[in-house]
Structure formats: structure tokens, C-alpha cells
Amino acid sequence: MFEARLGSTTLLKKIVDALREILSQSTLDCSDSGIQLQAMDNSHVSLVSMLLQNDCFEKYRCDRNISLGLDLKSLSKVLKCASGDDAVTISAPDKADKVQLSFESAGKERTADYELRLLNLDQEHLGIPETDYSCVVIMPAIEFARICRDMTSFSESVVIACSKDGIKFSASGEMGSANIKLSQTSKGDVDLTVEEPVTLSFAGRYLSTFTRATPLSEKVKIGMAADVPLLVEYPIEDYGYIRYYLAPKVDDPDA
């Protein structure tokens, strides 16, 4: 038996919104310690990894490890049927071919139950090696989302250059070019930890997809080092995270 209850549906909505553009279907690996997900995006370029610890839930029970293969578009439709402040219980018996989502309104005069068919998805567990990033930037998630949006209207590639002076995003295309610089501020909005400066080029549309997670966190953490994938991490309160990984473009002359 697997059962997990959240006091509000809002957090679950935000998580599914963060995942459903990058993954159409995915497997949630549920264990005693919480729920994990790890997958390549639909086009097998970037990687996403999610952790939700069991203390995120009002009630959490997982008698045996269970993998729930879900169509995220269907899950998103079900979540749209719920109010943000409905409590939600996700449950599945040990050998399930369905998962149940039950929503309760505050006064309990309305109950809504949804059953979604489980999918049998191939899973490759990719080891993500721990990396020492030579540059780590913590910045407002909304600002990062805005910059990614602005850059992609200029070019498919976004160059990110990080040094002790700040972080600079650049894009250059037919229309012209764009440069946005952020410095470490006394207000502490932008926080830079730079061992060695690094300049890398990335496919802007993946960065934009990652920013679907913006509503989850006030701050986003960006980790970069030469020749390793970029890390874009959105913390989920104190209970976990969504992490996106994207390899730098190698053939880009700006990189």
C-alpha cells in the first residue's frame, strides 16, 4: 500500500507544471523515504531529477517500493479539476494498475476521486555524478525566467559567462544582440561563488523549459563548470528539489 496526503493541492500542481512540458510520461519511484523521479526529457537532451522527502506530506505510507508510471498530461488534467486548497491523497495498492487521487474540500461536503491508469515505462537509471561547480549563482527565479525568455527572442543559443564581477547572459542573432549583466548586490538578491570564471553556451529553449519550475521557488541555483552539464536547481521548500541538467553546446563559436 502506498498513500501520501498533502494538505493543499497547490504544491503538487506546481511540481507537475514544472515537469509536464519536459516530460510527457514519467515514473515516480516511491519508497519509504519519499518520492523520486529521474528522466531524460522527451528529446533526450536534458535531464530532470526530482526529490520529495516523506516529511513533505501530512501523511505518508509506503509499505513496499513502488513505481508509478504516469502520463503527466492526464495528471495535470486531474489536478486542474481540484482547487488549490483542496487536500489531496494519492494512493495505490501494492500491485496496482491504477493510482487514485482523492480531493477533499475544506468542509468535506465535496469529495472528488480520480483514477488514472498506470503506464509501464522503460526506465534507465542514469547516475548523476556529484560535481564541484566552479561557479555557483543563486538568483531570483523570476529574474532567471525573464532573462531566458528575453534571450530566446534573439537567438537559439544563450551564452552564460560567470565571473567574480557578475553573471552575464548574451544572445546574438539576425535581429541584433542582447547582453544582460547582474552583479552581486548588497541587497543579496544575487549571490555569486566563483572559484574560476567560466563561459558556456546553451540551447535557449531548454533553459526556457526549465523555468516552468519558477512558481516553486523564490530563488534558483545555477551551477557551472567547464565541460560538465549546467545545473539549474529549484528547491521545493525544505522538502526536496527539482534539478535540471543541460550539456553545453560544443560547436558554438561563442562558447
Give the alpha-carbon dihedral of 72, 74, 77, 82, to 10 degrees: -80
Query: Does 64 interact with a second copy (rule: CB under 8 A)?
Result: no
Q: Please, which residue, 35 or 101, has the CB nearer to a second copy?
A: 101
User: What is the chain's alpha carbon radius of gyration, rounded to the nearest angstrom?
Assistant: 20
CA-nearest of 109, 66, 112 to 89 is 112
As measured in angstroms, the least distance from the Cβ of 214 to a second copy is: 17
Query: Does 74 interact with a second copy (rule: CB under 8 A)?
Result: yes
Q: Please, which residue, 59 or 98, has the CB nearer to a second copy?
A: 98
Query: Does 183 interact with a second copy (rule: CB under 8 A)?
Result: yes
Residue 74 and residue 225: Cα distance in Å, rounded? 37
Query: Does 226 interact with a second copy (rule: CB under 8 A)?
Result: no
Residue 186 CB neighbour total at 10 angstroms: 6
Residue 2 and residue 52: Cα distance in Å, rounded? 15
Do the Cβ atoms of 13 and 79 come closer than 8 Å? yes
Q: Please, which residue, 36 or 166, has the CB nearer to a second copy?
A: 166
Beta bridge partners of 28: 68
Query: Does 116 interact with a second copy (rule: CB under 8 A)?
Result: yes
Do the Cβ atoms of 121 and 25 come closer than 8 Å? yes
Query: Does 71 interact with a second copy (rule: CB under 8 A)?
Result: yes
Query: Does 2 interact with a second copy (rule: CB under 8 A)?
Result: no
As measured in angstroms, the least distance from the Cβ of 92 to a second copy is: 12
Q: Site for a second copy (CB under 8 A): which residue of 44, 80, 95, 125?
A: 80
Angle, alpha carbons 35-38-41 (nearest 5°): 135
As measured in angstroms, the least distance from the Cβ of 109 to a second copy is: 4
Q: Site for a second copy (CB under 8 A): which residue of 7, 117, 195, 218?
A: 117
As measured in angstroms, the least distance from the Cβ of 4 to a second copy is: 18
Stretch that binds a second copy, among 13-21, 124-132, 179-187, 230-238 (CB under 8 A): 179-187
Residue 197 and residue 167: Cα distance in Å, rounded? 10
Q: Please, which residue, 32 or 115, has the CB nearer to a second copy?
A: 115
Residues 250, 251, 252, 255, CA torsion sign: positive
Residue 48 and residue 19: Cα distance in Å, rounded? 8
Residues 92-111 interacting with a second copy (rule: CB under 8 A): 98, 107, 109-111
Binding site for a second copy (CB under 8 A): 71, 74, 77-78, 80-81, 98, 107, 109-117, 143, 146, 150, 153, 174-183, 185, 187, 189-190
